[in-house]
Amino acid sequence: MGPGQMVAVFGAYGHTGRFVVAELRERGFVPVLSGRDADKLRVLAAGSGLEARPASVDDPVSLDRALAGVAAVVNCAGPFAVTAAPVIEAALRAGIPYVDVAAEIEANVDTFAHFADRARAAGTVIVPAMAFFGGLGDLLATAAMGDWTAADEAHIAYGLNSWHPTDGTRASGTVSRERRGGRRVRYAQGRLEYRADNPPTLKWPFPEPMGTRAVIGEFTMADVVTVPSHLSIPEVCTYMALEAAGELSAPDTPEPAAVDESGRSAQTFLVDVVVRAGGSERRAVASGQDIYAVTAPLVVEAVDRILTGRTKVVGVASAGEIFDAPDFLRALSSHIHVELHV
């Protein structure tokens, strides 16, 4: 099993979905284009020569048709509060692995809570948040832990030089805020906490060349679901560069604009992960270009490893639990530069 197999991409015509389709083709897979908008699918299929299978999350029969004969499904269609459960149900009916790129904290919590037992009993694999947010941070934290079996705290700081959000990012953020009643969330003392106060603004010492930058503290991302799902760390905190957070929240910030033939934007990122236990500290740093584009190699590497049996567990699992984290990161060296200080 491996390249040459068909992989369904739900939400294939979206910004991230297009990157995933291109990466699948680059790796030798045959993408099957799926999603709710039949017109957009036809346009994408006409320009690619790929098969289009329209499907709606409120029509299980259409989802079953979309997944017929494929080896795996990648869900790129947010809001995942709406799409994740129906597509997972279809994947379970088809007996195939499911991977998504959900950054929505609540949707990822739901996936672990509602499908862990069923996926394990079926002997299948469900990997939520296999993306820049959730997946990459989890891989870095797991690699940084090394031979530690537990740590006191993990800090994941995102140094984005800019953030031009897609319509999908904005829609998913709106759904998340509505689900938590406008409150913010953090992970402390081994559980998610919902708070009505404002997050702190502080300084984070990013490695050079970025250097120390102002960040929003407790700017909570999907890492607070993926990391504690398998690592014994009671405090997990994520941070976001102040300028990027401001662009994300501004209503007039434009969508990403392509600057090369692959469609990547000029956005650059540096992810600084620090885990601490007692008086010791370990660190992992990753850098690259375009958080949406880099999600594609993360997802496709995951699909390839699942279909070739390079996994450690079955059921619902985050990237760091199901894959060999250091080896996975090495496999992405042409997309992400990683430094481990263990």
Per-residue pLDDT of the chain (342 residues; tens, 9 = 90+): 456 899 999 999 999 999 999 999 999 999 999 999 999 999 999 988 899 999 999 999 999 999 999 999 999 999 999 999 999 999 999 999 999 999 999 999 999 999 999 999 999 999 999 999 999 999 999 999 999 999 999 999 999 999 999 999 999 999 999 999 999 999 999 999 999 999 999 999 999 999 999 999 999 999 999 999 999 999 999 999 999 999 999 999 999 999 999 999 999 999 999 999 999 999 999 999 999 999 999 999 999 999 999 999 999 999 999 999 999 999 999 999 999 998
Give the three-class secondary structure for 14.
coil
Residue appearing with tokens 């294939």: 12
Residue 248 Cα distances to 21, 46, 91, 164, 304, angstroms: 26, 33, 33, 7, 32
At residue 3, the pLDDT reads 61
Q: Is 112 within the bounds of a domain?
A: yes
Same domain, 151 and 69: no
Q: Is 1 within the bounds of a domain?
A: no
At residue 334, the pLDDT reads 97
Q: Is 304 within the bounds of a domain?
A: yes
CATH code of the domain containing 154: 3.30.360.10
Q: What is the identity of the amino acid at 286?
A: A
Nearest-CA neighbor of 225 among 196, 186, 195, 198? 186
Cis peptide preceding 205, ω within 30 of 0: no
Q: What is the pLDDT of residues 59-109, one digit of tens each?
A: 999 999 999 999 999 999 999 999 999 999 999 999 999 999 999 999 999
> Beta-carbon neighbour count of residue 258 at 10 Å?
12
Q: Is 86 within the bounds of a domain?
A: yes
d(Cα 13, Cα 44) in Å, to the nearest integer? 7
Same domain, 104 and 156: no
Domain that holds residue 220: 132-293+334-341
Q: Which two tokens stand for residue 330?
A: 């090495």
Same domain, 285 and 148: yes
Q: Is 279 within the bounds of a domain?
A: yes
At residue 4, the pLDDT reads 86
Nearest-CA neighbor of 219 among 259, 250, 191, 248? 248
Same domain, 39 and 177: no
For the CA atoms of 239, 145, 304, 8, the dihedral, rounded to the nearest 10 degrees, stands at: -30
Q: What is the pLDDT of residues 297-312, one digit of tens each?
A: 999 999 999 999 999 9
Instruction: Answer yes or no: are the C-beta atoms of 211 and 119 closer than 8 Å.
Output: no
At residue 2, the pLDDT reads 53
Query: With DSSP H G I counted as helix, E B as strand and the rest as coil, what are the percentages for the chain, rounded to 5?
Result: 40, 25, 35
Instruction: Classify residue 232 by its DSSP letter.
Output: B
CATH code of the domain containing 97: 3.40.50.720
Same domain, 170 and 306: no
Same domain, 147 and 277: yes
Same domain, 98 and 145: no
> Beta-carbon neighbour count of residue 167 at 10 Å?
11
Split into its structural domains, the chain has a count of 2
> Beta-carbon neighbour count of residue 172 at 10 Å?
21
Q: Is 108 within the bounds of a domain?
A: yes
Same domain, 287 and 158: yes
Backbone angles phi, psi at 182, to 5 degrees: 80, -5
Does an H or E element contain 114, and which?
A: helix 105-122
Same domain, 18 and 119: yes
d(Cα 131, Cα 134) in Å, to the nearest integer? 6
Give the three-class secondary structure for 55.
coil
Query: What is the CA 313 to chain-centroid distance, rounded?
Result: 19
Same domain, 322 and 212: no
Nearest-CA neighbor of 24 among 49, 4, 51? 4
